[in-house]
Structure 1
Amino acid sequence: MGHREQLLAAARQLLEDKGYAHITARDLVAASGTNLASIGYHFGSKAGLLNAALGVVFEEWTTQLATIAMADPDTSPIERAHLTWAAHLDSLSGRRALLVSFVEALAQADRDPQLRTQLAEMYATTRRRVASLVAAALGDDVPPDDPRCTAVASWVVAVCDGLAMQWMLDPTSVPAGAHLMRGLADLRAISE
């Protein structure tokens, strides 16, 4: 494993252990067994490294949820969304420390243009990936850049983020995945 991979692994672990706002460059060097120059060489700065580690986490979560959403080809698009949100909710307790680190990064983004740009790109990448999944679920040769797909992708990401924020503040008040799915099915039945 090279210095880049060592630094990313250390950053991820420190994001879980210390939180985004409390990690120093020296923490990263000690945890990775590398040196300060490696951070600058591979990531430009400590913030660049931490943001890259958050990007890896974002990608992992998106991949896990995409696998769930696309597991059954006979499931309707709305059922895929329900399954994804339920799985998301059910997985939050194991991700609390990384969610807190992400919120800490978001809070700093307004004062750090580089961080803001990196986080915006993470969201853009996630939206594109989700839009591709929406297009695949819709079929009929709908392209991922169809405005409907990008709108649904933004909405799906917003629901995931909103549920995560509510859960972080009060886990007992957020519905379990199964309850969310039943409630959404009831809402859909009422609106038809």
Structure 2
Amino acid sequence: MSRKEVRERLLAGAVSCLQEKGYARTTARDLVAASGTNLASIGYHFGGKDALLNEAIIACFEGWTERVEKAIFSSGLGTPRELLERAMAALVDVFGEMRPTLMGCVEGYPAALREQALRERLAAAYGDAREAGVGMLRRASAEMGVELPVAPEVLVSVLIAISDGLMIQWLLDPDSTPDSRQIVDALAAISALT
């Protein structure tokens, strides 16, 4: 097995462990069993168990961002509202199928409050997600020939905050969490008030 393959297997195993056992309950032995590698490979490729789990959380964020981009640009853009609905669907309507991943990611937040390395990696992941979102917004607005009403960085940050907040609500009470269409309707209603 090449170094790259070992690294990829470790990362895939870590994502699997996050989904099945959670951040705090995953051991180095769990990571080895899930990846089919050995204990020394964790230290060699990632520096330790925590660093590997941190990278797995980041990989989940990156995969989710890619999913949003595919949803937005996989078909004709349509109207700005349709575009927002597709984006919110890719952010929110996927909670059910992503539940194990969401739980692993959310479990990483408390650890990030005490671990500077994880906090920095999560902050960078949010920065990367914002940057990707800004790129998506600029591309979509250019293709539609519309001007954004606010700075794209602000708009993306607000959409991420909405998604994160709804994610936590959904994990606690899925039946009371609005879907993407309800969210877009609520945003339009709030906009009409101003």
Question: Fold conserved (TM > 0.5)?
Answer: yes
Distance of 2:180 and 2:45 partners within structure 1: 40
Equivalent residue for 1:107?
110
How far did residue 74 of structure 1 move?
4.1
- The correspondence for 1:135, drawn from 135, 138, 146, is 138
How far did residue 71 of structure 1 move?
3.4
Change (3 A) 1:82 1:187: farther
How far did residue 185 of structure 1 move?
4.2
How far did residue 11 of structure 1 move?
0.7
| 1:19 equivalent in alignment to 2:22 | yes
Equivalent residue for 2:35?
32
Distance of 2:163 and 2:120 partners within structure 1: 21
- Report the TM-score when normalising by structure 2: 0.86
Gaps of 5+ in 2: none
Equivalent residue for 2:155?
152
How far did residue 40 of structure 1 move?
1.1
How far did residue 26 of structure 1 move?
1.2
Contact 2:85/2:181 (CA < 8 Å) preserved in 1? Answer: no
Q: Percent of counterpart pairs with the same letter?
A: 40
Alignment root-mean-square deviation, CA: 2.2
Equivalent residue for 2:95?
92
Question: What SS does structure 2 have at the residue aligned with 1:175?
Answer: coil
Deviates more, 1:51-60 or 1:114-123: 51-60
Deviates more, 1:36-45 or 1:120-129: 36-45
Change (3 A) 1:31 1:179: same
- The correspondence for 1:4, drawn from 4, 7, 22, is 7
Question: What SS does structure 1 have at the residue aligned with 2:117?
Answer: helix
Equivalent residue for 2:56?
53
Give per-residue Cα distances to partners, 1:79-108, cap 9 Å, x unaligned.
322221133322101111111111111011
Give per-residue Cα distances to partners, 1:95-128, cap 9 Å, x unaligned.
1111111111101111100111111111111110
How far did residue 78 of structure 1 move?
4.2
- Report the TM-score when normalising by structure 1: 0.87
Aligned residues: 186
Letter in structure 1 aligned against 2:121: Q
Give per-residue Cα distances to partners, 1:146-182, cap 9 Å, x unaligned.
x812111111111111111111111011123333344
